[in-house]
Amino acid sequence: MNTQKYNLSFTGYYSDKDKSKLPTHSGIYCVYAGDSSLVKGEVAIAKLIYIGESENIKDRVVSHGQYNDWKTI
């Protein structure tokens, strides 16, 4: 069996306040719950909530059916 290798590069971190800055290109995205109370300007990732892919990341995230649920975790 042939093994294929893929290299993924995740760029940027966007809080819910920054959703207008999400990229509009295609790609894979991850949604995390985080704790921003530790150090000003830093976020500790607490839990991976969702992994998705889209032709337009910004449009998909902000119109996702679970978007409001993500904000309560």
**What pLDDT sits at residue 31?**
93
**What pLDDT sits at residue 26?**
94
**What pLDDT sits at residue 2?**
85
Given a cut of 80, whether residue 16 has pLDDT beyond it is yes
User: Using one digit for the tens of pLDDT, what is the confidence trace for 26-48?
Assistant: 999 999 988 776 666 677 788 89
Element (DSSP H or E) covering residue 72: none
Say which residue, 51 or 10, is predicted with more confidence: 51
Mean pLDDT estimate for the chain: 87
Q: Supply the pTM of this predicted model.
A: 0.75
Mind spelling out the 3-state secondary structure of 6-62? CCCCCCCCCCHHHHHHCCCCCEEEEEEEEECCCCCCCCEEEEEEEEEEECCHHHHHH
- Distance of alpha carbon 9 from alpha carbon 73, whole angstroms: 26
